[in-house]
Structure 1
C-alpha cells in the first residue's frame, strides 16, 4: 500500500504550512495595527486618568477623530487575526493536492448560492449521483466527497448555515436518476451537484441518449430555481477500458453544461492529470476494484470542487461573472 493511501491527509505537511503562516514576522502594518489596538485598550481602561477639565473643547473633534481612527485600525487588525486563524484551520484540513495546470477551470455562475450567502440565509446543496457520490471506497462517512465538501465550505463561511445532502445511489445513471429527480427538487436546493455518466459507460448505454436525459434534468432543476454543476466520469481503469465511450460521454456532458450555461467539474481530466502529469500511481487514488476513489481521491476531488465553488461565489460578490440572463434560470 502506498504512503498516500495509508496517510491520505498528510497532517505533517499541513502543520508545517500552518506554522509558517502563524509564525511569520509581523509586517509593519500589522505591528502598527497591534500598537493601535493596545493604544485603544489603554484609552478605554478605567484606570487611565480623564483629560484635564481645562482642556479646550475645540480639541474635542480632533480627539474624537483620532479615537475613531484607532478603533478602525484595531478592528482591521482583529479581522486580520481572524482571517489568519481561518486560513490556518483550512490548511490543517487540506490534503497535499495540486490543481491541474494549464487553462483555469470555470465553475460558471452560482447566483443562488451567492445570494443566499450574501443575505445570510441557509444554503442547501444536494450531491446527486451514483456510488462515488454515495461514497463507496471511503473508509468512513466523514471521508465521502459530500461531507468533505461541507466541511470545507463551513470553514470558509463560518457564520453561514450550510447543508450538503447526499443523494448518491450506487449503480445508477441517468435513467434511474431521472426517476428520482423530483425528490431532489423537492428539497428546494440552492445548488445541485450532479455526478453522472460513469455507469452509462460501464453499461454501454448510448452516450447521446444519456446526454439528452441529463439536459432535460438540468432544465427541470434550473426551472425550480437551483444552480447546477455537473461532474463527469472518473478516470480509472474500469472506465478507461472503454476509451471511445468515455471520451464521448465527457465531451457530451461538456456540451450540455455549455448549452445550459452551468458549471461542470471535469473530474475525468483532473484525475488523468494526477496520473499522467503529476505522476501519481493509479492505486494512490483508486481502490482495488479499479473504479472507485479512496479517501485521498475523494478528499482532493472535494477540495478542488470546493475551491471552484468558493471562487465563483467570490466573483459574484464582487459583481464579476454575473450572467445577464440569470432570470431565465429562475421559475417564472
Structure 2
C-alpha cells in the first residue's frame, strides 16, 4: 500500500530524511559548506505539504500522471538522448522512491510536453491540448527563459502565467513552477532577471511551489559538485546530461517532500 502522509509525530523524521537527501544533492540550505563563489540565494527546497492532489492520489493508490510542461529544458535540448532528459530521470527517481510500477502497483506516468523555443505566449496557446487534456495529477511548469529573448513583456509573462496556473488548478491538478537556468546566455540579456523575480512573486502570492533551478545551479558550482561547463553545454544556454541529472534528483526530493513523503536516498 502507498505510504500515508506523515503525522505530526513523524515530522522530525521527515525533516531529517529530507535534510540528508538535500545535503547529498547540494541543495541550498542543506548545511554543506560552500567551497567557491558565487554565494547561492535562499533554500531551493521548502518543507511543506503543498501538493494535496498528489498526496491524495498516492494515499489512495491511484495512477500518478505528471505533465512536464515547458520549453527546451523540458524537451531536453542538450541531453544526449531522451532517457537523459530531466523528465525521464525524474520519472525514474519518483518510481524508485515510491516503489511504483512493480508488483502490480500503479506507475508514475511522465508526459513530456516541452517544446524548444516556446515563450509564455506559445505555451498559453497549447496549454489545453498538451497539458489539461492529459488530466494530470501534477504539472511541472518550466517557464520564463525564452520570454526575455522573444520580447514578451514581464507584465504579459506574469498575466499568462497567472492564467495558466488558474486553468491547471481548475482541473484539480497540482502545479509546481520551475524558474530560469543559470547560464551566460540569459545573464547577458538586460532585464532577464525580472522574469525570474516575477515568477517568484506570483508563486508566493498564489502559494505555488517553485523548483529554484537558478539557485540550485549556483549552489552546485559553489559546492564544487559541477562546474559551469559541466552543467551547461557549449551553446551557453542548454543543460547537459549532468545538469539534467542533478535537476531531476533535486526535483524528486522537493516533490516528495511537498507531497508529505520522506524520499529515500537519492541516486548516486
TM-score (norm 1): 0.63
Aligned partners of 2:26, 2:229: CA distance in 1, in Å?
18
Aligned partners of 2:118, 2:47: CA distance in 1, in Å?
25
- Structure with the larger RCO, 1 or 2 (CA within 8 Å, 6+ apart): 2
8 Å CA contact 2:86, 2:245 repeated in 1: yes
Query: Which residue among 167, 172, 179 is the counterpart of 1:225?
Result: 172
Partner residue, 1:265: 211
Partner residue, 1:52: none
Cα 1:107–1:266, aligned 2, differ >3 Å: closer, same or farther? farther
Aligned partners of 1:315, 1:296: CA distance in 2, in Å?
26
8 Å CA contact 2:78, 2:233 repeated in 1: yes
Post-superposition shift, 1:151? Answer: 0.1
8 Å CA contact 1:107, 1:262 repeated in 2: no
The within-5 A match list for 1:81-160 is: 97-101=25-29, 103-104=42-43, 105-106=45-46, 109-159=50-100, 160=106
Post-superposition shift, 1:133? Answer: 0.2
Partner residue, 1:182: 128
Q: Pick the structure with more helix per residue.
A: 1
TM-score (norm 2): 0.78
CA RMSD of superposed structures (Å): 2.1
* Structure 1: gaps (5+ residues): 1-86, 317-332
Aligned partners of 1:281, 1:154: CA distance in 2, in Å?
29
Aligned positions, number: 222
Deviations 1:179-232 (A, max 9, x none): 010011011101000000100122232112101110111011001111000011
Post-superposition shift, 1:280? Answer: 3.7
Quick check: which has more Rg, 1 or 2?
1
Partner residue, 2:187: 240
